[in-house]
Amino acid sequence: MHFETREGRGQRGRTERGTQAPVWDQELFLVVDDLVAQSLKVRVWDEDPGPSDDLMGVAEIFFTEETIARDPLTGELAVTYEPAAWVANPGREVALTVPLRPGGGFFAGMAAMARTDNKTILKVAKALDEAQSRAAAKAVDQATAMAEKLAKKQGDGKALAAMEAEGASRAAQQARADAYRLAAAALKANGAELRGNGAMDPVDPRDAAGTLYMTVCFLPFVKPAYDDDVETAPVKEGLSALLPFDAPPAREIVTSVSDFQKGILSVTVIGGKKLAGQASSSVDPYCEVALADCDAARPDEKQRTRTCMNDDSPRWNGKMDFVCVSAGSYLTVTVYNKTSLVDMVLSTNLSAGRFKDKVLGRVQIPVRDVVRNGTLKDTWALQEAESGTVEMRIEWRDAFMDRDLGT
């Protein structure tokens, strides 16, 4: 399985072999920058021995729910966003039952998660609104005519007629409000869908590719900005001292680091050079980055890059995020040579070890070194290797979390 919120920074679950009812029981951490623009994309794969895997099912979980509301100033309809129930209650674990749409190949799976754009939604909504307005106006006219007719029958009954007309107007307004509550169903009937997690997108059980049972928890945090994170930092000098904002703090080299200081570790595995493989086979390298956290409450975590086939100097450009990391942790970067079917067949080793990927080298990096500098971009020589180096960029961001959430 594969989870992704930020493009190119997804996380993979382990492979459960020989079962159609896998139990992963894994905890994954993902960063969300924009609750509206981003979503949690889930893809479940059937791992094959060959270079490509089969996409079995896809799902998309949104952090916000779309609604259609009228702007109180302009009176125009607009698509608005409200946080999903589990996002609006941070720090609480919420169980979700997620139906998987059939994969049918990578591009078909992505198309299954494609959403109706806001312009289409508003176009259909405005058409529905105009129709409902005409119906409401007609209802008001009919109610007013009935009230006038009733007043004439009763002679001097202007007060009663006014009351009837006011009641008819309120009834028409209520009818319009009811129409808005049915907007989502009407939009879907017209080919436009409102997204949301309040009710997962319906999938016909006969068409479902399976069901995923998962628990989600939203933990907000504050990420500080530094002057080297923006193109131009404001300078408080001269007339600029009158500006109503302060310059972001400069990044400083930290000398005192607490082991349990929390933050986000962003790792970019750029590439490797002169990786040594077995003389009888080509090198199909990939890189695995493992985090061993000093906090026992935080599980260890592994992420990996893609495999570059037949390349001893690969360019992975693999991006990874490690969340809620303790400063006293360690990163272990291991480069593997993926075992091919040819290697398995030609191997003289008859044990189960011939199916395992071969280690080309590894390097261990204390997270504390990254915390002190903020960012490390360097080339590390692989240990336990004949030759080879790996180039990476590692960045640390302090994460100030809400103490009321117990984190």
Question: pLDDT by residue (tens digit) across 340-385?
Answer: 665 655 555 555 556 688 899 999 999 999 998 889 999 999 998 8
Give pLDDT, residue 380.
Answer: 95
- For range 78-90, the mean pLDDT: 84
| Same domain (yes/no): 24, 165 | no
| Same domain (yes/no): 136, 201 | no
pLDDT band at 331 (very low <50, low <70, confident <90, very high): very high
Q: In the chain, pLDDT over 90 holds for what percent of residues?
A: 24
Mean model confidence pLDDT for the chain: 75
| Same domain (yes/no): 337, 211 | no
- The two three-digit tokens of residue 273, written as one number: 């050079």
User: Quick check: is 212 in a domain?
Assistant: yes
| Same domain (yes/no): 373, 289 | yes
User: Quick check: is 253 in a domain?
Assistant: no
Statement: residue 114 has pLDDT above 60: no
Pairing type for strands 375-381 and 11-12 reads: unpaired
User: Quick check: is 27 in a domain?
Assistant: yes
C-alpha distances (whole Å) from 399 to each of 290, 295, 329, 340 are 20, 16, 15, 41
C-alpha distances (whole Å) from 207 to each of 13, 60, 102, 202, 203 are 24, 16, 7, 11, 7
| Same domain (yes/no): 63, 131 | no
Spatial separation of the C-alpha atoms in residues 389 and 366, rounded to whole Å: 18
Give pLDDT, residue 326.
Answer: 92
pLDDT band at 285 (very low <50, low <70, confident <90, very high): very high
pTM over 0.85: no
- The two three-digit tokens of residue 83, written as one number: 């946080």
- Check if the beta carbon of residue 375 is closer than 8 Å to that of residue 394: yes
Give 383's DSSP letter. Answer: B
Statement: residue 227 has pLDDT above 50: no
Of 304, 294, 270, nearest to 366 (Cα)? 294
Domain count, the chain: 3
- The number of angstroms, rounded, from the C-alpha of 213 to the middle of its chain's C-alpha atoms is 17
Q: Which amino acid is at 66?
A: E
Q: Each residue of 24-41: pLDDT tens digit?
A: 888 888 988 888 888 999
Residue 56's domain comprises 2-115+195-216
